[in-house]
Amino acid sequence: MKKPLAPVAITGMGCLCAAGLTVEACMDFLFKGERFPARPTRFPTDPGAGSPVFEVESGFWSPDRFHSFPRCRTVRLALTAAHEALAQAGLERDLLKKKRVGVCIGSNVAGSVSNPELFGPSESWDGGYPTSGRRFAAANPAVGLVREFDLNGPVETVVTACSAGTDAIGLGAAWIRMGLCDAVLVGGADELYEITYNGFISLMNSDEGPCRPFDVNRRGLNLGEGAAVMVLESEELLGERAGICRGRVLGYGAAGDAYHLTAPDPDGQGLRLAIEEALASSGIAPDALAFINAHGTGTTDNDRIESRVFDAVFPKIPFLSTKGYTGHTLGAAGAVEAVFSLGCLSVGQVPPSVGFADPDPELPAHPVSQTTPVTGSAALSETLAFGGNNAVLILGKGE
Amino acid sequence: MNMRIDGMGVVGGFGCGISDLAAGIEEGRRPAKFFPLSTVHGEIQVPMLLADTAVLSTMADRRTLRRIDHHTRMALLACLLAMEDAGISEPAAESLGIIVATGYGSTCNTFDIQELCPAADVRSFSPIQFSNSVHNAAGAHIASVLRSRGPNLSINQFDLSIPMAFLTAGHWLAEGRVDRVLVGGVDDFARIMAYHRHCRFSGRQGGDSSPAPAAVGEGSAFFLVSGHGGGQDEVGVAWAESGFSEAPKIPGADLCVIGADGFSPGEEAYGRCVSGPAACYAHLYGHLPVGMAFDVAAAVLSLRAGSVYASAGGGVPLPGGPELISETRPLASGQIHCLKIGAAGGYGRVVLEKR
């Protein structure tokens, strides 16, 4: 990356997760410093073992808002977030049909054609096995958005595990810059899924209590679920309809660790490269950032790497983790946290990193532990994923 | 789109490497073989196109391969073959991007949750099983073996994943994010689709003379691409697109390689889009979501050789579809369109050209 790229306007945002069912509700919740993790309710777990999770409250789905009726929870989450984002952007269905509108959504569960609920024969599938294409479409939030809003642009589901939501926003921004789309719905969506839940337990990466990002007693993550969708718009469309720019994607970077499937590179080299690319593409200097929204899962290795890299690259920039409020929403995490970052930029403060109480003396940098005023018009939001994927966004304040 | 194909690697039911693919296309092979498949209704015999990755043990460190499953082995082998075809052994770590497209993802067979037999307990899998089930596992392993620290993307848009992968590779090169991209696709053999095919087609009446649909297949095809250097005699990607609007009309003078396999929904649309010469090679690689990657590979072979090859096994049944080329002949145009009608709606197109 040799020179900064053009910023891309964000005109609408929608978000739902355990912290709330709208962006406003989520932001209010974060600054209360509360959280309510509990045992999973939608699949069986071993009594006395496992990890608490952060589920979205059951009444989130309002079918009367939509033309389609998806059965898959992940699609419902994505539609709900997109509905809020489009309403905030002021983009009506009729206009969406006339413009070239793409969809780029990160997800983990949506990529699983092997989802047991969708795989077996059932009477609701006309008594036979559904074709694989129908199964995929039924579980895929990007296709769900296309069908609901009758969109005609490119469609991409990003499956880079925990960095998928971040990657989807960065890739969608390129579609605007390259002139491929007038608008793009970007973000991430993931429901809690039995395989993922048991998978993290098998990896011994789950905390049996509420997660404690960057704390000396951290034991692992808690899973969550949710969705966040942003509307990205070209300057032409924004000017044509006199829309409001509520934020900007200023930069994006991604790099691989090339190290290990489930453990981050101890030197954080991949993360550093992703940060370098994001900063270069944004033209923003490291010390100009207002704050960093860390990945901060609460796992031993992840938090150590991030703390070391922050200390080296951003020694004076405050950082936080919001995983304590939401759990790790996997493919949605990058998008949920990007929305939170823009919300914090807007109000000029960041919430405490709930779960962080006792600093780890081995870590050179520590997150904020109380509501903290921040100054500046840009923030960095990052995700570190399974497989060594690192993805970083630089986000700018809106009008 | 300013993208040059420097090398390609393929593995599938037809064999391993470009020479096996070329031989399969030139000879019109239908390499599917019948194997037993256990189901809730007992054992059945179904045609399969399975990939053999044994040669990988001579190309990569055995310790590295020890915990890598078949899904990733196919993708890694195709990547290494693409590098070999391009004459590159060690790419620059930070200037190589990786894009892995998949339709089923690595979960396809990992957990044995396809209901051909009573479902396995999803709470009793191993950490390695879970690790290999995550969709970007193949991309992570490829990056690790190649020591690539560039951007690493995994895309899952079912049978329209390949055009989106090429589109993204083009953007990465155009924005200067990387100098080269390994872009391609991989899918495992899906037992449930083999069962589905068996249920739909094994009881065909004797009077039904239409060609049989392609067997269920698996495999991987990867391409090493870079920015177009302005050189002569290069094969490149002129355009890649995908969307849920109506599929485009293909110019009548250009060859169109269609991704019809005979039992994916919506294949009647090929007849509305293609009025000129068409070829179909699905019988060679089989029914799998990223089959379009093999169509792109076949198009590259055609452009390199200046020939249009006859459709594999006479092609697939396409009511109202375009007439398929049945004899090898010289290529009349410098462009080849690869078109896929999506099983869940939409279309994807990759246009290759000789420069």
Asked if A194's CB is within 8 angstroms of B144's CB, the reply is: no
pLDDT single digits (tens) A313-336: 999 999 999 999 999 999 999 999
In angstroms, the CA B15 to CA B21 distance is 7
- For the segment B229-237, the average pLDDT, to the nearest whole number, is 81
- Give percent of chain B with pLDDT exceeding 70: 89
pLDDT single digits (tens) B63-98: 888 889 999 999 999 999 999 999 998 777 779 999
Residue carrying the six token digits 């396999």: B261
Instruction: Report residue B110's pLDDT band, with 50, 70 and 90 as the boundaries.
Output: low
pLDDT tops 60 at residue B130: yes
Q: Which residues in B lie closer than 8 A to residue A161 (C-beta atoms)?
A: 134-136
Q: Which residues in A lie closer than 8 A to residue B130 (C-beta atoms)?
A: 195, 198-199, 202-203
Closest CA to B136 of A244, A45, A340, A163: A163
DSSP string computed for A378-393: EEEEEEEEGGGEEEEE
pLDDT single digits (tens) A82-109: 999 999 999 999 999 999 999 999 998 7
Residue carrying the six token digits 């808002």: A65
pLDDT single digits (tens) A32-71: 988 999 999 988 888 777 899 999 998 999 999 999 999 8
- For the segment B285-300, the average pLDDT, to the nearest whole number, is 96
Q: Note the ipTM here.
A: 0.95
Number of A/B CB contacts below 8 angstroms equals: 227
Exposed/middle/buried for residue A50 (C-beta within 10 Å: 0-12, 13-18, 19+): middle
The pTM score is 0.95
Smallest CA–CA distance, residue A326 to chain B, in Å, is 22
Q: Which amino acid is at B229?
A: G
Asked if A260's CB is within 8 angstroms of B144's CB, the reply is: yes
Q: Is B343 in CB contact (< 8 Å) with chain A? A: yes
Residue A236 carries which DSSP code? H
pLDDT at A123: 43
Average pLDDT value over all residues in chain B: 88
pLDDT tops 50 at residue A124: no
pLDDT at B311: 87
pLDDT at B122: 61
pLDDT tops 50 at residue B298: yes
Residue carrying the six token digits 């964000």: A10
Q: Is B125 in CB contact (< 8 Å) with chain A? A: yes
Q: Which residues in B lie closer than 8 A to residue A198 (C-beta atoms)?
A: 122-123, 125, 130
In this structure, is the dihedral angle defined by the CA atoms of residues B311, B314, B316 and B319, taken in order, positive or negative?
A: positive
Instruction: Report residue B206's pLDDT band, with 50, 70 and 90 as the boundaries.
Output: low
H or E, element range at A145: helix A141-149
Q: Which residues in A lie closer than 8 A to residue B157 (C-beta atoms)?
A: 142, 155-157
Residue carrying the six token digits 């390689």: B257
Cα angle vertex A334, ends A328, A335, to 5°? 110
Instruction: Report residue B243's pLDDT band, with 50, 70 and 90 as the boundaries.
Output: very high
pLDDT at B315: 67
pLDDT single digits (tens) B111-127: 554 444 445 566 667 78
User: Which residues are registered as beta bridge partners of B224?
Assistant: B7, B182
A45 or A282, higher pLDDT? A282
Of the listed ranges A189-203, A219-233, A295-309, B271-285, the least confidently predicted one is: A189-203
pLDDT tops 50 at residue B31: yes
Smallest CA–CA distance, residue B234 to chain A, in Å, is 24
Closest residue in A to B136 (Cα–Cα): A160
Closest CA to A7 of A128, A122, A177: A177
Residue carrying the six token digits 């399975």: B50
pLDDT single digits (tens) A338-396: 999 999 999 999 999 999 999 999 999 999 999 999 999 999 999 999 889 999 999 99
pLDDT at A342: 98
